[in-house]
Amino acid sequence: MTDRTPDEYDGHDPDGRPRRWWLTPVAPVDFGDSVLSTTLVRDTDDIEYVLRVVPSGGGIDAERALDNEIRALLRLHRRYAHDHPAELPGLVGYGFDAATQFALLAARQGVVDGHRTATLLTDHRRAYVAGLFRALDHVGAAGLVHGGLGPATVRWNGETAVVVNFEHALSAGERARPGTPPVHPGDDVRAGGLIAYRVLTGREPAIGRADFLATAPPEVAALLADVFHAEPGSRPSAAEVSGRLAAAGAPAAPVDEDAGLAEGRVRFDRRHRATPPDPVSESDEEVAIPAPVAKRVRGRDLLMYFVLVVAVVALVLAAALGRLS
């Protein structure tokens, strides 16, 4: 593989100091329906970042999206400068007036987005949902509304969820467009509830039905109570949902379509489980018979044998001498 000359980016760090970066593209990053171009890059010290830029021909919409992202991440940086939440992207640098307008982020975004959470273990799905609502709590505390939550913008990094793509972010109370209602933190709570429902049940929410939570597992229904209320101000805060999740323990695992079959298998196994053998009575046990022990020949017996042999020899000799005489 041939080395590529790094591209130069002039801008500022989050504290406003002028900076310059030399960055080499590594791989594209999928941020869903983002109007910005997103790439994993590496600097000359082999440190990786996520680079967000206005693509060629992106136009005013892309410029506005980048402007929103930078302003939102700057606010989060200043709010959490000394204790930046793991659930939020960290701003490393930005360029408003550069030839290429950009935002440079710490590369801690997750590798699994919300479309693929079915591959996660149950405990990880719970941690994903908990991280999502912690992120929304942090965003709301900074006076922001994300405004673009969806499976592609909530990613899993192996430990928690990371909310990305702030190009639609606005201050609470602003209007996205003339004639639209002011944005409210409850908008993010509702969007987060839809993601949580998918992750925890494995099903798509029937949002056209007012009572769709009635068919959800009880733990999930309790967790998301009032999250889908028609009035944003009547929905629980992200902090309240986080508290419910902590108090309720692990929500139910995704619904298994073969659950009925599984129950039948359990009953079958229970009914046909091998019966343990009856205890062996002492009379049935095999008795070990000791091997015969060779008799020991004692000294007295040897003496008797000797005397007998001598007597026999003496008789034989006496008989022989008698014939000779």
What is the predicted pLDDT for the residue at 99?
76
Query: Is 117 in the same domain as 247?
Result: yes
Considering 35-49, 283-297, 310-324, the range whose residues carry the highest mean pLDDT is 35-49
Residues 6-31 have pLDDT tens digits of 999 999 999 999 999 999 999 998 88
Question: Residue 265: pLDDT above 50?
Answer: no
Of 252, 276, 293, which one is at a domain's C-terminal end?
252
Query: Is 30 in the same domain as 104?
Result: yes
Query: Is 168 in the same domain as 100?
Result: no
Question: Residue 95: pLDDT above 70?
Answer: yes
Query: Is 45 in the same domain as 65?
Result: yes
Question: Residue 321: pLDDT above 70?
Answer: no
Rounded to an integer, the average pLDDT of 169-193 is 96
Query: Is 115 in the same domain as 237?
Result: yes
Query: Is 49 in the same domain as 172?
Result: no
- Which range marks the domain in which residue 56 is found? 1-109
Identify whether the C-beta of residue 186 lies closer than 8 Å to the C-beta of residue 240: no
pLDDT band at 205 (very low <50, low <70, confident <90, very high): confident
Question: Residue 171: pLDDT above 70?
Answer: yes
Query: Is 245 in the same domain as 115?
Result: yes
Q: Kindly state whether residue 32 falls inside one of the protein's structural domains.
A: yes
What is the predicted pLDDT for the residue at 317?
57
> Of residues 134 and 212, which shows the higher confidence score?
134
Rg, Å, the chain Cα set: 41
Kindly report the CATH number assigned to the domain that includes residue 101: 3.30.200.20
Strand order across the beta sheet in which 161-163 lies: 112-113, 154-156, 161-163
> Of residues 209 and 307, which shows the higher confidence score?
209
Q: How far apart are CA 196 and CA 52, in angstroms?
A: 27
Number of domains in the chain: 2
Considering 43-52, 96-105, 153-162, the range whose residues carry the highest mean pLDDT is 43-52
Rounded to an integer, the average pLDDT of 293-315 is 53
* Structure-token pair, residue 294: 């060779």
